[in-house]
Amino acid sequence: MSDGPDLIYRYDGSFKGLMCCVFESFYQRETPLRVISHAETQESLFEIREVVTDNTKASRVMRAVVEKISGEAMNLVYSAYLSDLKDKELHILRFLRLGFKYGASVMRMLTDDTVRILNKAVTHLSNEAALLRGFVRFSDFGGGLVATIEPKNNVLPVIKHHFLSRYPDGCFIIYDKTHKLVLLAQQGRSRIIQVDDFVPPQAGNDELRYRTMWKRFYDTIAVEGRENPKCRMTHMPKRYWAHLTEMQTPPDTRPITDAPARLTSNNTPASGLR
């Protein structure tokens, strides 16, 4: 096996695409210097190899991971792919090299740096997903619910099951502004699509009233004499405040218009297993 210190893989950013990079790396017996997605542009002196996404190759890799390592390892890899770990592709590649060597026991090698880094990234993802199950704030637009989030990790595929169960008959949209993804859900069915931009409609009177009432509840429920800004900040980091109704002062009462929601999209399904 040779290291390819002057070689960079580029893929389409999808999970299957990443699995094809794994295939390529094993097939060519080489480890690239970096693996980048199309979204990243990199001025580079190094050779860039385009890795084309191929369903058959991707499936072969995924099956091999499950059979030769474990289903648990497959989950770890997929979750790590959703995380915001820097150079996650390379870490995943390294992990799979270890995994194919040691088999299922790689999952117990918690003090190995490669394993630890992936686990840490996945914990970060699950923690953020757990927070967002609570922090998503919907607005009601004539029966449909719309929310915007700005997570670090790609949490939509993780949290969608929860919201589908919460609103089994509902129609809702969650827009992930960071990753430009939209989760569309209706009557228990859902899909995630890539968008260029998403602008929610303006709130109506009823909506503004409920926001005001919620803000009032929030302000009233705190016990004076026990203020603890540090504790609040630990649990509810400031970067989430922009989309939390109760943290807007004064409550969000922007003028009301009838402008409908705008969704700009090329309608390609977003990356990810479905």
Give the residues lining the site for other proteins (CB under 8 A): 105, 108-111, 116, 130, 133-140, 145, 147, 162, 164-170, 188, 209-210, 212-214, 216-223, 225-232, 234-236, 244-246
- Kindly tell me which of 77 and 117 has the beta carbon lying closer to other proteins: 117
Q: How far apart are CA 183 and CA 190, in angstroms?
A: 7
Structure tokens at 37: 């997605």
Least distance in angstroms from the C-beta of 239 to other proteins: 14
Whether 179 and 172 have beta carbons less than 8 Å apart is answered as no
Least distance in angstroms from the C-beta of 119 to other proteins: 9
- Kindly tell me which of 63 and 239 has the beta carbon lying closer to other proteins: 239
Give me the sign of the Cα torsion angle 263, 264, 266, 268.
negative
| Length of the chain as a residue count | 274
- Kindly tell me which of 29 and 226 has the beta carbon lying closer to other proteins: 226
- Kindly tell me which of 63 and 116 has the beta carbon lying closer to other proteins: 116
Least distance in angstroms from the C-beta of 195 to other proteins: 21
- Kindly tell me which of 26 and 167 has the beta carbon lying closer to other proteins: 167
Least distance in angstroms from the C-beta of 178 to other proteins: 19
Report the 10 Å Cβ neighbour count for 189: 8
- Kindly tell me which of 15 and 175 has the beta carbon lying closer to other proteins: 175
Q: Which residue is associated with the tokens 């409550």?
A: 251
Residue 240 DSSP class: G
Least distance in angstroms from the C-beta of 118 to other proteins: 13
Q: How far apart are CA 254 and CA 243, in angstroms?
A: 14
Long-range CB contact pairs, 182-190, < 8 A, 24+: 182/263, 182/265, 183/156, 185/160, 188/164, 190/160, 190/164
Least distance in angstroms from the C-beta of 48 to other proteins: 35
